[in-house]
Structure 1
Amino acid sequence: MIALETRYGFRIDIRTATHDDEPALADFFAAVTDEDRRFRFLSAVHQLSAGQLHDITAFDDHRHESVVAFAPGGDKVIAVATLAADVQGGTGEVAISILPDHKGKGIGWTLLDHMAQAAKSWGIARLQSIESRDNRAAIALEREMGFSARAVEGDPTLVLLERVF
């Protein structure tokens, strides 16, 4: 476990997700709002399949990692961040989800910063996030962290955010 403190003083413990976390992640994604699942998966998803949960927990050194976050001493997942990388192309994509009752505590900022540091250590030059245009909070956070935003060609409902290291 790695202990982190958010910019608002909230403490979280994070670790790499494993396949043993799949039941906890099923519970986590069932507890996030329909809108947040739509923002994370860019489609209407009510329940994640076993395959989707397996993919989230797959670990491939310098290509794919998800981290799960817990309140200190807790065993309930309160947030999940995933980094998927194309090391050859020098790009990575990040996605973050947080339980509704843990939003506004700086967890998103802290996880995004943690994943950006991981991306840099993997040799990633460009970190990207694809967001629904409706996900104003995520877009504002990423812009605050130095991401530039542009429309996704061919899909006016999406925004591509990118940070170059």
Structure 2
Amino acid sequence: MEFLITPARPDDRDALQRFFDRVAPQDLYFRFLSGLRKVDEERLQQMVRDDDDRSIDFLAIDQESGEIIASAMLGADENFDTAEFAVCTREDMKHRGISWALLDHAARYAEAMGIGKIVSLESASQADALQLEREMGFTIRSCPDDATLKLAEKTF
């Protein structure tokens, strides 16, 4: 499968809504760490903004169908010291290297922007994501305030 990674743009809004409509409820939970059942308009608009220099969403687009098959968010703090990331991949597109490619792309982007560290909060039950992050050189540790969460960190 061939896919293209590109920053989300305002005209991706409808395609992004279709993507999230196809994401499994468990994956929505892992992406947003909440019981969100549907991505609302405000969140969609935040994801496709192209005028925010601290936050960017990258989309993996299937080159054959043109559909969004995965999304990665990268949001930096105001000093660009640390950025948080989150990746979401459609269930039918998992285990194809898409999440790995998106995370690698986001990490390289963060490093090029001068960000010193990227972090992600993960559900402790999300073994695939934690394994991917370990393989990519992230340090994984328990969150002191919540035993159900893990913190993945990578320093550049």
TM-score (normalised: structure 2): 0.94
2:22–2:90 contact (8 Å) kept in structure 1: yes
Q: 1:138: which partner in 2? A: 129
Work out the CA distance in 2 between the residues paired with 1:151 and 1:122.
Answer: 28
Q: Is residue 2:79 matched to residue 1:88? A: yes
1:69–1:79 contact (8 Å) kept in structure 2: yes
Q: Is residue 2:40 matched to residue 1:24? A: no
- Report how many aligned residue pairs link the two structures: 156
Work out the CA distance in 2 between the residues paired with 1:61 and 1:53.
Answer: 14
2:10–2:50 contact (8 Å) kept in structure 1: no
Q: 2:114: which partner in 1? A: 123
Q: Offset of 1:60 from its aligned partner?
A: 4.4
Q: 2:61: which partner in 1? A: 70
Q: Is residue 2:97 matched to residue 1:106? A: yes
Any unmatched runs of 5+ in structure 2? none
Work out the CA distance in 2 between the residues paired with 1:95 and 1:139.
Answer: 12
Q: Is residue 2:25 matched to residue 1:34? A: yes
Name the SS for the 1:59 alignment partner: coil
Q: Offset of 1:62 from its aligned partner?
A: 4.3
Q: 2:141: which partner in 1? A: 150
Say if 1:135 and 1:60 are closer, same or farther in 2 by CA, change over 3 A.
farther
Structure 1 runs of 4+ aligned residues shifted over 6 Å read: none
Name the SS for the 1:111 alignment partner: helix
1:68–1:77 contact (8 Å) kept in structure 2: yes
Work out the CA distance in 2 between the residues paired with 1:20 and 1:105.
Answer: 27
Name the SS for the 2:29 alignment partner: helix
Question: What one-letter code is carried by the residue in structure 2 that aligns with 1:119?
Answer: A
Please, what is the CA RMSD of the aligned residues?
A: 1.3
Any unmatched runs of 5+ in structure 1? 1-9
| Identical columns (%) | 38
Question: What one-letter code is carried by the residue in structure 2 that aligns with 1:46?
Answer: R
TM-score (normalised: structure 1): 0.89
Q: 1:59: which partner in 2? A: 50
